[in-house]
Copies of this chain bind each other. A is one copy, B any other.
Amino acid sequence: MRSGIKQVAEKAGVSIATVSHVINNTRFVSEETKIKVFHVMKELDYRPNSAARSLRSQKSNTIGLIVPVLPSDTSNFFFMMVAQGIQSTLKRHGYHLLLSNNTTEEIEDEKEQIKLFNSKLIDGLIIASIAEDVSYLNDIVASDYPIVFIDRKPSGFSGDYVLADGYGGSYEAVHTFIEKGHRRIGLITGGLGISTSNERLEGYKKALQDNGIPFDSSLIKVSESNFESGYESAKSLLSEHSISALFVANNVLTMGVMRYLQERQMKIPDELAVIGFDDYDWTQLTTPPLTVIRQPSFEIGEKAAEIMINRIEKTDTNYKEYRLPTTLVMRGSC
């Protein structure tokens, strides 16, 4: 039988209050007593029962994470890195990570998971919602329930959010093209209406504008974010228009695009300069290796976790946006 605090107290000849206080370092205990208690704890291989602790202290010391990842979708990788960032900083602060992911793309499913968590299981929630409008949260959680949003800017509910600077990244990509003399620059992007895609488009536009290049909407292809759509978008864009540079605004699309360009044996960057999105390993494998805009995914996770812990321990007031810079990783395709 596993020993509890009572056994430790008895064997050490002190009260359970004292044992508790040496464990939590929560009031003065004489050095002598401390040593005795620690010794007995080791001897009995005592581990505090976390359920009892949570129940009594109203604190679970665990954070929930909900991310939308479809099985075998490449975008997994992004959230995986985010999760790692979260985990590593939570661990440093003595928190645990409870993971849930949305394999359906249903908002109902998301709600269900939040409710499941909302039973004193977690002290706070980090979520990459599939919805932009998260006002449904108002009905589900208390107003002081700590929530940190990641990847997208939420609307309809107040909370901190941390995301990559897609606007800046996109701007930098296009600006780089322009500096190299390109003026007809294509853009292939995922569906608009979500903040990530929107701001990448804005960055593209702004870079053109700042350099006196007129915006030509026919050089833009908006498509679903999957391999095939990327492939098809590249195909139709290149057959309909002559462009000398192409910016692809997300990673799955980048794969599809590259497949097409390789099939067509397009000379990169001479015939077409290319910048992709996300610095995945495979981008080093194309010929030439791909220049990309890197999102600081691990760092997003770290930041989100830090914010979360601050919220819980400090009870701050106003919510903020945390926008982490992307970086241009120069390789051979541009």
Residues of A at the B interface (CB closer than 8 Å) are 2, 47-52, 54-55, 60, 62, 69, 71-72, 74, 76-77, 80-81, 83-84, 87-88, 91, 96-101, 103, 115-116, 118-121, 142, 227, 255, 258-259, 262, 280-282, 284-287, 298
Contact = CB atoms under 8 A, between A and B. Distances in A.
B103 A84 contact: yes
Nearest to A91: B100
A98 B100 contact: no
A69 to B, nearest CB: 7
Contact of A100 (B77, B87, B101): B87
The 7 closest A-B CB pairs, nearest first, are: A282-B282, A51-B54, A47-B119, A51-B55, A99-B99, A80-B80, A50-B121
B101 A98 contact: no
A56 B98 CA distance: 21
6 contacts: A47-B115, A47-B119, A47-B120, A71-B298, A97-B98, A280-B282
A87 B97 CA distance: 13
Contacts of A60: 51
A259 B285 contact: yes
Contacts of A83: 99
A285 B255 contact: yes
Contacts of A99: 83, 87, 97-99
Contacts of A76: 77, 80-81, 84
Given A255-B281, A262-B287, A285-B282, A49 B97 contact: no
